[in-house]
């Protein structure tokens, strides 16, 4: 039985992954900022079969509370061996272009809060010499595009941070997984027109569960994004700057 901390537990994608954990009878500690949604997710996971489900209401931008939250999760569950970081906001690119304050706010939520959490969890698991850390990053971090480069910057930083962490923690037996998700139909993308490249939260959430089971390093979800992003990364900058991708 795993002892799992999920940050951003009300995310549509994380909810699907959490249901798989619950069906395995794992212990779950859920962190999110909306108390009603959090309680509704927790009740569902109890019904799905989780051995224990505890919750904490928290805005992840309050980084001062991260150490206390992680310690609380460990104490309440009687252990901690798996962490899934799922929170995020889809930045308003135009608003960020107009205001550095807005850019900073987005970088705080999508990057700095994640790096704060990773710093503490990494030290905790390194001491124990075991554990799994999974973080939902994005294909948007693989190449900067005019339509979303602030969000992409945050995800790129998270992906590189995770690469370094994976390299550092390998010898301690800690598994670090970068989830590079493509377009996913969730509340975050409710206003977008959906096409053939879009995946459901079920598909991606289940993919995250499998990646954790299989102790993967870096996964693209769905899988075909690995090849799409390979092509996009290979385009010379002189060509790429003229595109409207």
Ligand X SMILES: NC(=O)c1ccc[n+]([C@@H]2O[C@H](COP(=O)([O-])OP(=O)(O)OC[C@H]3O[C@@H](n4cnc5c(N)ncnc54)[C@H](OP(=O)(O)O)[C@@H]3O)[C@@H](O)[C@H]2O)c1
- Contact between 186 and ligand X (CB under 6 A)? yes
Tell me how far, at minimum, the Cβ of 151 lies from ligand X, in Å. Answer: 7
Tell me how far, at minimum, the Cβ of 217 lies from ligand X, in Å. Answer: 18
Sign of torsion, CA 9 12 14 17? positive
- Give the total of residues touching ligand X (CB under 6 A): 26
- Contact between 107 and ligand X (CB under 6 A)? no
Sign of torsion, CA 116 122 127 133? positive
CA 39 – CA 56 distance, rounded (Å): 10
Identify the residue among 55, 109, 159, 175 touching ligand X (CB under 6 A): 109
Residue 52 burial class via C-beta count within 10 angstroms: exposed 0-12, middle 13-18, buried 19 and up: middle
Contacts of 128 (CB under 8 A, 6+ apart): 81
- Contact between 138 and ligand X (CB under 6 A)? yes
Tell me how far, at minimum, the Cβ of 130 lies from ligand X, in Å. Answer: 25
Given the rule CB under 6 A, which of 85-93, 125-133, 206-214, 224-232 is the region that contacts ligand X?
85-93
CA 79 – CA 188 distance, rounded (Å): 32
CA 99 – CA 219 distance, rounded (Å): 33
CA 186 – CA 112 distance, rounded (Å): 23
- Contact between 188 and ligand X (CB under 6 A)? yes
- Contact between 28 and ligand X (CB under 6 A)? no
Given the rule CB under 6 A, which of 45-53, 99-107, 177-185, 229-237 is the region that contacts ligand X?
177-185
C-alpha dihedral (111, 116, 118, 121), degrees to nearest 10: -160
Identify the residue among 86, 96, 107, 162 touching ligand X (CB under 6 A): 86
Given the rule CB under 6 A, which of 22-30, 55-63, 119-127, 233-241 is the region that contacts ligand X?
55-63
Identify the residue among 29, 125, 161, 183 touching ligand X (CB under 6 A): 183
Identify the residue among 184, 208, 212, 219 touching ligand X (CB under 6 A): 184
CA 26 – CA 209 distance, rounded (Å): 13
Cβ nearer to ligand X, comparing 22 with 38: 38
- What is the full DSSP assignment across 133-186? EEEEEEGGGTS--TTTHHHHHHHHHHHHHHHHHHHHHGGGTEEEEEEEE--EES
- Contact between 33 and ligand X (CB under 6 A)? yes
Tell me how far, at minimum, the Cβ of 219 lies from ligand X, in Å. Answer: 12
Identify the residue among 4, 6, 12, 69 touching ligand X (CB under 6 A): 12
């Amino acid at each position: 039985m795993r002892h799992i901390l999920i940050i951003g537990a009300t995310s549509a994608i994380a909810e699907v992954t959490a249901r798989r954990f619950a069906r395995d009878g794992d212990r779950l500690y859920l962190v999110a900022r909306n108390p009603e949604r959090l309680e509704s997710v927790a009740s569902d996971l109890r019904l799905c079969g989780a051995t224990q489900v505890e919750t904490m209401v928290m805005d992840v931008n309050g980084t001062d509370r991260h150490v206390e939250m992680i310690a609380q999760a460990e104490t309440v569950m009687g252990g901690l061996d798996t962490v899934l970081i799922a929170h995020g906001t889809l930045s308003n690119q135009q608003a960020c272009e107009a205001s550095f304050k807005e850019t900073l706010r987005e970088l705080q939520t999508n990057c700095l809060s994640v790096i704060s959490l990773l710093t503490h969890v990494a030290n905790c698991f390194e001491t124990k010499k075991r554990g799994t850390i999974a973080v939902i990053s994005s294909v948007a971090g693989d190449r900067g595009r005019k339509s979303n480069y602030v969000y992409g910057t945050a995800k790129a930083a998270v992906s590189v941070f995770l690469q370094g962490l994976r390299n550092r923690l390998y010898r301690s037996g800690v598994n670090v997984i970068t989830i590079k998700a493509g377009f996913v139909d969730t509340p975050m993308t409710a206003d977008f027109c959906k096409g053939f490249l879009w995946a459901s939260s079920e598909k991606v959430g289940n993919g995250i569960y499998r990646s954790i089971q299989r102790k993967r390093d870096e996964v693209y979800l769905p899988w075909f994004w690995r090849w799409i992003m390979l092509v996009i990364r290979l385009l010379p900058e002189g060509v790429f700057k003229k595109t409207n991708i």
